[in-house]
Structure 1
Amino acid sequence: MQVGQRARNAFVVLWVTVTVLKAIVAARLPLFVDEAFYWQEGRHLAAAYSDLPGLTAWMTRLGAELAGHHAFGIRLPFLVMGALLPWMVARISTRWFGARVGWQAGSLTLLMPLSATLGILAVPDVPMAFAALLCLDAGARLLRQVDAGSALMLASGLMLGALSHYRFIGVIAVGFAALLLLPEGRRTLRDARVWMALTVGIVAWLPLLSWNMDNQDAGLKFQLVERHPWSFQAGGLWFLVIQPLLVTPLLCIAIWQACVAGIRPLPTCPHRVQWRYFALLGGVSTLAIFLLGFFTDIERISFHWPLPGYFALLVVVPLVLGRWPRLWRRLAWVLLALGAAGAFGYYLTAASPTLRAQLAGNKFYPRNFAGWEPLAEAVREELAAMPEGTRVVAGSFKVGAELGFLRNDPSIHVLPHPLNDKHGRTAQLALWKLIGEEPRSGPRLLVLAPGDQRYRDLLARYHQVCALVGPLPPPRVVSTDHGYQRFLLFRLPAERQAGACVTPAMAWVDAPLPDAQLRDGVDVSGWAFKDGVGLAAVEILVDGQVAARADYGLENDVTGFWEISTDPHHPRVGFRARLDVSALSPGRHWLGLRLHGTDGSVEDWWEQPFQVAH
């Protein structure tokens, strides 16, 4: 009893600490782009949407209505639901394996990096995890005895999962397979009350099926066909590296030991049927996701997909850890604490402009959290200087959703963009009549995010925009974190202008390379051009200040790569300048370009770091 009480006290202290931390981060962290789109969906209430069933959007709307129009309000229902998950794991584990094991399983849930931060973001994984745990609990209880309460819990979980995400179909399939593999499960499936629960779960998919029937199966095609290559890709092996890091290595070992031991638990093990059930759920789902990883989408975030399976195994992991030597047990808990601290540290870094800027240029730079407030402020300033009734037009759904949230305007028009298709949002925007050929009457403020596409595709994208809106006037550049989040604002005239396509400037620094070690001086060289009008001058910036004026117009033919470029100065678009760094303090500095167009435009290019060593 004393051991169980200590485990309970540790769990409560951890739960309070983690929940407070999550609330602080959720209040400070800017909305992720997907969250902003879910908010937009919540402002256009419907039974289902192109990317998801309806629950996530409904929860964002509920949060805004209850707590107000800000990031914390949008996330509040998800925070509450996420805070309940460790209690649910503890409750399930306690029922079958005792209080000590149960509270320890809850503590593992609080510290495992994948689950520790669940609820900070307003994303569908939160209600999906909640639904998976309801079904997990109900299934274990039904294996012991079929009763109305357990059947009702199963129906609730199935309904909630159907309203959460397409991926919940996998949870259902694995759960059904686990029951079929167990003699007790097959007996359970013969009960009419279980089939009544399953019927409720099937009915809950009808809104999503109805949406797809009305929209040429756009959602199903995106989720099952368009987003996945369905061809072998060796990148699926990264699962074996990433998952142990995200779960922490020793806990990952314990999870798999729990799975293996659960397949053939010891005869003396209490509730060995339930253990085998948990092991089958966790093992089959995790193995299936690993195998699918060789054929499905690995470009976007998918590391959280095995989480429902991990929850099933966490229920019994304390039994495995209890057999480990004390040193290894303690080391497992220490690694968990460090992993949770790292997960929270990433979100705190993304929420801090100062810390986030230090990640600029790094592959872990949280671009989708960055720069939205400065952009919204610049848009407010531009609209104040433009005629009344000026409409905002966004270059992609990301810009439209984030600006829409910050301006409390869910109806910002969006230009066609491959990103809209890639994320399954085109059909939904079309239903709202917010995408397609951009309206050409009346003044408009066009907002583009150059980072929304690969650099090699950027010039083609600019030409596509020209085809939609006409030649682009000189832009206002809004740059955050040394240009690693960068926006271009264009005041479009009331009527489309005729003429050749004029685009923003393009540039590249050939030397020095990023993070170069410099002492006294260095030659800065590269190329820059601006389609339609050309450039008049290039200036070299150091830490945002003009440090030198480049000799522009040198021979540097880049038309072999930029074949569609129409800069009149080709092939003389090279530049060179001598940069003296002897007066700079030792340490890290930032090298940038300021590009002056012949049309009067002035555009600051993104910056690259260099080191000064004396």
Structure 2
Amino acid sequence: MSPFGDEAFYWQESRHPAWGYSDLPPLTAWLIWLGERVVGHGLFGMRWPFLLLGSALPWVIVVFGRSAFDARTGWQAGLLCLALPLAGSLGVMALPDVPLTLAAAVALLALLRTLEEERLRDWLLLGLALAVAWLTHYRAAMVMLAGLLFLLCTVRGRAQWRRGGLWLSLAVASLGLVPLALSNWRQHGAGLVFQLVERNPWQFHADALVQPLEQAIACTPVLYVLLLWAWWRSWRRRGDGAPWDLVAWSSLGFLLPYFLLGLFADDLRFRAHWPLPGYLPLLAALPALCRPAGRSWRVATLVGGVLGGIGTLLGLGYLALAASGQGVDVLAASKAFPGNFVGWRESAVQAQALLAHQDAVLVADNFMLAAELEFQLDGRRPVYSLDAPLNTKHGRAPQLAIWRRDEAGLRAAHPGAPMLLVVSEVMREREKLGWLGAICGRIEAPRFVDRLVLFDGRKQFAFYRGFVPAAPPVAPADPRQCLIWRNAVRATPQGRPN
């Protein structure tokens, strides 16, 4: 399966090792770098570290269930972890949620153990897990929040403030903030600005009230209801002490803040995976609670686990279809078309053929296409990106500027040079005129060369030859006069979804 759009950019970051990037802390890129150093460039090289980490998650849940309850509950919790689609499919792609979720699970296990016995190794493990979370994503703040709620709101938690081990853990965890602080200092706060300001409207949007429905679909409905029931029963027993107080507060520390944040934050990107760490302790609590609750609850948990496992298999089956040409043809007529996974190989093959005929500077019309082309071409040549609105929307524009892979870097390095521009013509209709109509000012003397139409027009790339302009682009007086926009409109069949 070709890289997911963001996944390809993380691979591109791995080729520029740094303390951090404009969208993320450094660990995702570091893991991809390690993976390719060990087995070479390619899909397996990029993904095997994440597959290994994702495969470790059920085993951590087994150990948590054994430590919190008993061995039988531990094994049941591990099986439920495999059945939960969000967890059972973790690791099939090189994404930051893989190390972040595993770090949250290890931190939960370490905290459970430190509450039972004062051991230096458990405090160090807690600090190390939190440091890894900070190295992975800004959402590590939610891991800290969940722990803070437990430490402030429970009797056992408040007692930890007097133990030196907690402060040792926090000191170790703070080491994970060092690369994040360094990268933001060097990039003038680009990462923080993107995560806290640019990607979030910070305005209430009522459509986000459907989040529970989204979670029910992501978890499968029966298993989702059972996990909520397990949280409610754990919450009612939180006064009984271990392990119910930890289960109740750590789950609440993820599920409720993410729901509230979702009402005001980014609603344009996929976010159903955000609350996953909050379900992990409930996977152990559910079998422990349903056993004394009666036969009907045990049967319901069995049914929920089976249906969840089917959901996981269906999700993996969808990815298998996305990896197969015949499978993509099956999905082409549906809303489930895997647009972020397909077409990249074919566009790279076509670009390579055109470059073999006449060499030129390779440029893509947005960061995602540039990263995908560079990956498919094995990183043998740099691929520049035009300054598309998509680059800013996803927080990648500052990083491209640092690498000198944006339009300013292109003009500085190759003024007047021959240029092969690859344009992704499929986009929302309301965005097409504004962007495609402005590209003519970003390439001198554009000349249409070829078009690649795939999957009944669901993926469409146009190739233009021209020259790198020496001056910054000027906004066109009439974008409808732009050759690139006119060609895209003529090539779009009426009624075909963009």
Taking structure 1 as the reference length, what is the TM-score of the superposition? 0.75
CA contact (8 A) 1:463 1:501 kept: no
Identity level (%): 35
Per the TM alignment, residue 248 of structure 1 is displaced from its structure 2 partner at its CA by: 1.6
Per the TM alignment, residue 320 of structure 1 is displaced from its structure 2 partner at its CA by: 2.8
Q: Which residue of 1 aligns with 2:147?
A: 175
**2:96 pairs with one of 91, 108, 124:** 124
| Aligned: 1:228 with 2:200 | yes
Q: Which residue of 1 aligns with 2:421?
A: 446
| Change over 3 Å in CA distance of 1:203–1:266 after alignment to 2 | closer
Which has the higher relative contact order, 1 or 2, with Cα contacts under 8 A spaced 6 or more apart? Answer: 2
User: C-alpha separation between the residues in 1 aligned to 2:389 and 2:213?
Assistant: 30
Q: Which residue of 2 aligns with 1:316?
A: 285
| Aligned: 1:193 with 2:165 | yes
CA contact (8 A) 1:483 1:607 kept: no
Q: Which residue of 1 aligns with 2:2?
A: 30
**1:391 pairs with one of 350, 358, 361:** 361
Letter in 2 for 1:35: E
User: C-alpha separation between the residues in 1 aligned to 2:490 and 2:268?
Assistant: 31
CA contact (8 A) 1:482 1:606 kept: no
Q: Which residue of 2 aligns with 1:523?
A: none
CA contact (8 A) 1:90 1:106 kept: yes
Q: Which residue of 1 aligns with 2:464?
A: 490
Measured against aligned partners, the alpha-carbon deviations of 1:401-451 in whole angstroms (never above 9, x if no partner) come to 001111122731111011111111111111111113343321111111122
Q: Which residue of 1 aligns with 2:57?
A: 85
Measured against aligned partners, the alpha-carbon deviations of 1:349-405 in whole angstroms (never above 9, x if no partner) come to 211222212222533211010101110110111001114xx2101111101100111
| Aligned: 1:605 with 2:492 | yes
User: C-alpha separation between the residues in 1 aligned to 2:259 and 2:489?
Assistant: 49
| Change over 3 Å in CA distance of 1:449–1:332 after alignment to 2 | same
Q: Which residue of 2 aligns with 1:546?
A: none
Q: Which runs of 5+ in 1 are unaligned?
A: 1-28, 503-530, 532-562, 569-594
Measured against aligned partners, the alpha-carbon deviations of 1:509-535 in whole angstroms (never above 9, x if no partner) come to xxxxxxxxxxxxxxxxxxxxxx9xxxx
CA contact (8 A) 1:482 1:607 kept: no
How does 1:346-385 map onto structure 2 within 5 Å? 346-385=318-357
CA contact (8 A) 1:67 1:76 kept: no
CA contact (8 A) 1:370 1:480 kept: no
| Root-mean-square deviation over aligned CA pairs | 2.6
Taking structure 2 as the reference length, what is the TM-score of the superposition? 0.92
SS at match of 1:565: helix
| Aligned: 1:99 with 2:71 | yes
User: C-alpha separation between the residues in 1 aligned to 2:348 and 2:187?
Assistant: 33
How does 1:273-292 map onto structure 2 within 5 Å? 273-292=242-261
User: C-alpha separation between the residues in 2 aligned to 1:565 and 1:402?
Assistant: 29
| Aligned: 1:474 with 2:448 | yes
Per the TM alignment, residue 265 of structure 1 is displaced from its structure 2 partner at its CA by: 2.2
Q: Which residue of 2 aligns with 1:67?
A: 39
SS at match of 1:478: strand
Structure that is richer in strand per residue: 1
SS at match of 1:369: coil
| Change over 3 Å in CA distance of 1:265–1:458 after alignment to 2 | same
CA contact (8 A) 2:204 2:263 kept: yes
How does 1:103-118 map onto structure 2 within 5 Å? 103-118=75-90
CA contact (8 A) 2:400 2:406 kept: yes
CA contact (8 A) 1:148 1:193 kept: yes
Letter in 2 for 1:353: G
**1:155 pairs with one of 112, 127, 133:** 127
**1:76 pairs with one of 48, 55, 70:** 48
User: C-alpha separation between the residues in 2 aligned to 1:230 and 1:602?
Assistant: 35
Count matched residues. Answer: 486
Per the TM alignment, residue 202 of structure 1 is displaced from its structure 2 partner at its CA by: 1.4
User: C-alpha separation between the residues in 1 aligned to 2:317 and 2:25?
Assistant: 31
Structure that is richer in helix per residue: 2
**1:565 pairs with one of 472, 477, 480:** 480
SS at match of 2:18: coil
SS at match of 2:407: coil
CA contact (8 A) 1:134 1:156 kept: no
SS at match of 2:362: strand
User: C-alpha separation between the residues in 1 aligned to 2:168 and 2:395?
Assistant: 33
Per the TM alignment, residue 603 of structure 1 is displaced from its structure 2 partner at its CA by: 6.8
Measured against aligned partners, the alpha-carbon deviations of 1:45-98 in whole angstroms (never above 9, x if no partner) come to 011111111100000011111122111110000000000000000011011211
Larger Rg: 1
User: C-alpha separation between the residues in 2 aligned to 1:266 and 1:185?
Assistant: 12
User: C-alpha separation between the residues in 2 aligned to 1:358 and 1:235?
Assistant: 31
SS at match of 1:477: strand
Q: Which residue of 2 aligns with 1:305?
A: 274
Per the TM alignment, residue 168 of structure 1 is displaced from its structure 2 partner at its CA by: 0.6
Measured against aligned partners, the alpha-carbon deviations of 1:474-530 in whole angstroms (never above 9, x if no partner) come to 241111111111111112147789xx999xxxxxxxxxxxxxxxxxxxxxxxxxxxx
CA contact (8 A) 2:82 2:88 kept: yes
SS at match of 2:35: helix
Q: Which residue of 2 aligns with 1:5?
A: none
Q: Which residue of 1 aligns with 2:434?
A: 460
Measured against aligned partners, the alpha-carbon deviations of 1:193-243 in whole angstroms (never above 9, x if no partner) come to 210110111122011112112222111010011101100001211211110
CA contact (8 A) 2:82 2:309 kept: no
Moved more, 474-483 or 127-136: 474-483
SS at match of 1:316: helix
| Aligned: 1:296 with 2:270 | no
How does 1:398-547 map onto structure 2 within 5 Å? 398-409=368-379, 411-437=382-408, 438-439=410-411, 440-451=415-426, 453-493=427-467
Letter in 1 for 2:424: A
Per the TM alignment, residue 293 of structure 1 is displaced from its structure 2 partner at its CA by: 0.9
| Change over 3 Å in CA distance of 1:290–1:596 after alignment to 2 | closer
Letter in 1 for 2:208: G
SS at match of 1:315: helix
